[in-house]
Amino acid sequence: MVLKKLSLIVSFAIVGYVGVSCSSKEDQDSYDKYYGSGRAAREEAALNKGAEQRAEEVKVDPDTINSLSVTENMDGEVLASDATVNGIPETAGKTIEQVSEKKEEEAPKQKPVPADISALLNKHTCSACHRPYDRVVGPAYADVAKKNYSVEKIVELVYKPQPENWPGYPPMAPMTQVPKEDATKLAKWINSL
């Protein structure tokens, strides 16, 4: 009985091996019949064409790059632009460093999260849905601070969330396991942002 089963398994393995090896050749023949022979030549030509296109894209005139940071009038004088687009001053006539410095000055100052607050956020799984300055699942803590809720109101919302206050966000689960002392400490930190 064991010998019959073993011989049956071996015969299936041999048939499967022969079938797969024949199948590959048959698939290649049908491909060549449909698309024509010369597959390797077509693939090589496509690779060469792609490389040529990438080489052409990289070529940039250095004079064009240098002219991007200034504007010139007809006399060849370099001028700074006073134009604004949507209330933002245009950057023509300024160097990259000058533009970068201004953007760094305009960026809102983000306070680092104190270690004790970070520990509480992780302990009570607040960090799973909220970040100090970025929207994740729930609103950023900085966005909560912009609502000017009192500390007591934030604590109340931890225990009994009101989804109507935050349309566009999924409803928050009540976090009744958070001790009131920890919730109060977190609420004070949120209002400091």
List CB contacts of 144: < 8 A, sequence separation 6 or more.
154, 190
Distances (CA, A) of 93 to 99, 100, 151: 10, 14, 48
Count CB neighbours of 48 within 10 A: 10
Nearest to 69 by CA among 106, 89, 99: 99
79 in helix, strand or coil? strand
CA angle 189, 192, 193 (to 5 degrees): 100
Return the CA Rg of the chain: 33
124 is in an annotated binding site: no
Q: Are 139 and 169 in contact (CB under 8 A)?
A: yes
Q: Which residue in the block uniquely carries the two structure tokens 């969330």?
A: 161
172 is in an annotated binding site: yes
- The span from the CA of 130 to the CA of 120, in Å, is 13
126 is in an annotated binding site: yes
Residue stretches of the annotated binding site = 126, 130, 172
Residue stretches of the annotated binding site for heme c = 126, 130, 172
